[in-house]
Structure 1
Amino acid sequence: MIALEVLQKLYLTACEVELQAFKPGNVSVYADGHDMTVADFRASAEVSAGPLCRPDYSLGEKIYYSIKATREAVGCNTNLGIVLLCAPLIQAASMLASGETLRQALTRVLIQTTVADADWAYRAITLAAPGGLGSSCAEDVREKASVTLLESMKIAAERDRIAFQYSTNYQDIFDFSIGLYYNVMRKRIGRNWAAVSVYAGLLSRFPDSHIERKYGDRFSGMVAAKMASLSDALDRADDPEQLLPLLYRMDQDFKCRGINPGTTADLTVATVLTALLEDALGHGRSASQYDCR
């Protein structure tokens, strides 16, 4: 179990690491974009940290009140995906049983979700009004929930990568992206570049839900190819700062086309948070265990 103030600090750290990472097409300290700024994301992290870590809130309440606070602070959807992914991780870390791993606790949190959790989450999603939300014949978020939050996420898993994490106990993170993070950390070039590696690795392998809601698969192949080449360049680079010109070109190209891999950025935050939580719990794993290339 991790203390409340430590949970908040780790969440804020994960959000800041993701902003410090140069993620082509997304907002970072290197470049704003899509009518959002780094200041918007920092404010969103600050105001959502309290509700997300509040011990007397249910999982659904953590999600809703975090998004409500964000909406009141910045007036736009900066962190719905981040909150949806981080809330169960924070819940799991705060109720870890003796001898239990973070992923085992996460499994328990997800299995124990309720219809009320789904209702709170639906309210949060409707309030955030993410681009390309659309409607669904099954469990439309504009209606009252009739299934648990986990069951709802399973329904949406084929079309949404965040919902897929719920339905697979965060498979992309625990079985893939956290390995990329630790492999870069082993090189001692910093968490920010580890986050870039996570972002590029995920995008090279999995289509981004946010992009595909807006454009279908029109850009999926191109984005995957560019991110695969970036992953290779990061792997070969002795000094990743040398890749900044490449990253600026990619960023400009994506933003000129209106491409924003927002879901992958959210998964990057969740990956960093997972690693920070595991380290805080004394469960941090050696990078030598991983080979995600």
Structure 2
Amino acid sequence: MTGRTGDRETGRGTDRDPVDDATLALLLEVAGTPKPGNVDRRRDLGDLRFESFLGGAVGARAGLELAADGEAPIGDAFECAVAGMADRAGTNTQFGCLLLLGPLLRATVAGPPADDASPSVDLDSDAVDRVTRDTTVADAVAFYRAFERVDVAVADPPADATELDVRRGSDAAPTLRDRELTLRDVMAISAAPDDPDRVPDRNAQEWVEGFPRTFRAAEWIRTDAGPLTDRAARAFLGLLAAEPDTLVAATHGPETAREASARAAALLDGVDAGPDDVGDVDEIGADAVHGADLDAAEALATAFVDEGINPGTTADLTCAALYVALRRGAEVAP
């Protein structure tokens, strides 16, 4: 399965297999170093090792191929990818990455809408939005089943949504069917929590907002210079600086998550942000990200690991951005 995507500024596209690019994005994400608080080439986290992520990327391929299949339900593709990842890695390595890559892959190969005479496929926000809007209740049920494959760190659901706690797995299926909730509907609940102090699920926000963080960071990566692994590390810092990380908020609380973002912002070029200033990816310019101090980020990486601060959702977004950057012409070759 192949799809062609054009580079918006240079016009250069790619005829590479989208599944190859998705797999490469998974590998480049974990190889990006340093990504403070996350596994990278120089750091393992307890039993979660660098090679675990390499195995997870390989194991997920069958599910990624289903996502690139125009006929397979997107929920089944995700569940297959998670199962393959867990089987090869022996643990949860890239659950959130796969959740974002599925719609991006499907949008890559779907082509323009029937009423669009454009001969080219442009992987953009509208294309991914069409994919998520087409999801079904069965996709939501498959998404919940995927949580039975691995342990996923999530925050407690809102008080009025306990029946939709993803940790219920298949037991939530009757509720999903009774309420006729599609996978996009489920994401919308997580993307807009009722509690204003609660950090939203950033991956869920991507699903319902058209992947704005992904496309923003993809341009940071595509227009940057140097090895893609360094570009990924700088994009990670930009994403973390822009918004508090969902996983950090779930494990340490919103205040710690905002402080972690402020500490990342201090490493960007010309950005002076405190915990109360973070909150909008559009406020972080490409020049600030390209000027990120990776040497200083090494010290922050050590500190985050020592403190148990793991911005895993930011890593998911970085992976998705790498995929889009690869589709838009970014290369691993010099």
User: CA separation in 2, counterparts of 1:237 and 1:171?
Assistant: 16
Cα distance change on mapping 1:209 and 1:67 into 2, 3 Å? same
What are the within-5 Å matches in structure 2 for residues 202-221 of structure 1? 202-221=239-258
Shift of 1:36: 0.7
Q: Is 1:273 aligned to 2:323, yes or no?
A: yes
What are the within-5 Å matches in structure 2 for residues 182-261 of structure 1? 182-184=222-224, 188-232=225-269, 243-244=294-295, 246-261=296-311
Q: Is 1:9 aligned to 2:20, yes or no?
A: yes
Q: Is 1:105 aligned to 2:127, yes or no?
A: yes
User: CA separation in 2, counterparts of 1:264 and 1:181?
Assistant: 15
Letter in 1 for 2:59: V
User: CA separation in 2, counterparts of 1:15 and 1:237?
Assistant: 21
Cα distance change on mapping 1:243 and 1:155 into 2, 3 Å? closer
The alignment's TM-score, normalised by the length of structure 1, stands at 0.85
Out of 93, 97, 110, which is 1:82 matched to?
A: 97
User: CA separation in 2, counterparts of 1:135 and 1:190?
Assistant: 40
3-state secondary structure, aligned to 1:27: coil
The alignment's TM-score, normalised by the length of structure 2, stands at 0.75
User: CA separation in 2, counterparts of 1:15 and 1:109?
Assistant: 21
3-state secondary structure, aligned to 1:247: helix
The equivalent of 2:43 in structure 1 is 31
Unpaired segments of 5 or more residues in structure 1? 285-293
Q: Is 1:264 aligned to 2:301, yes or no?
A: no
Letter in 2 for 1:35: D
Shift of 1:237: 11
Q: Is 1:140 aligned to 2:161, yes or no?
A: no
User: CA separation in 2, counterparts of 1:94 and 1:41?
Assistant: 26
CA contact (8 A) 2:61 2:84 kept: no
Letter in 2 for 1:231: L
Unpaired segments of 5 or more residues in structure 2? 4-14, 113-118, 193-199, 271-285
Shift of 1:9: 1.3
Shift of 1:192: 1.3
3-state secondary structure, aligned to 1:232: coil
Shift of 1:135: 4.2
3-state secondary structure, aligned to 1:128: coil
The equivalent of 2:203 in structure 1 is 162
Letter in 1 for 2:269: D
What are the within-5 Å matches in structure 2 for residues 111-122 of structure 1? 111-122=133-144
Letter in 2 for 1:181: I
3-state secondary structure, aligned to 1:90: helix
Query: In the TM superposition, what whole-angstrom CA distance separates every residue of 1:124-151 from its partner, at most 9, and x where no partner exists?
Result: 1343221235345433332012301111
Shift of 1:205: 0.9
Cα distance change on mapping 1:243 and 1:50 into 2, 3 Å? same
User: CA separation in 2, counterparts of 1:73 and 1:168?
Assistant: 32
Identity of aligned residues (%): 28
Higher mean alpha-carbon deviation, 223-232 vs 198-207, is at 223-232
Q: Is 1:62 aligned to 2:77, yes or no?
A: yes
3-state secondary structure, aligned to 1:279: coil
CA contact (8 A) 1:53 1:91 kept: no
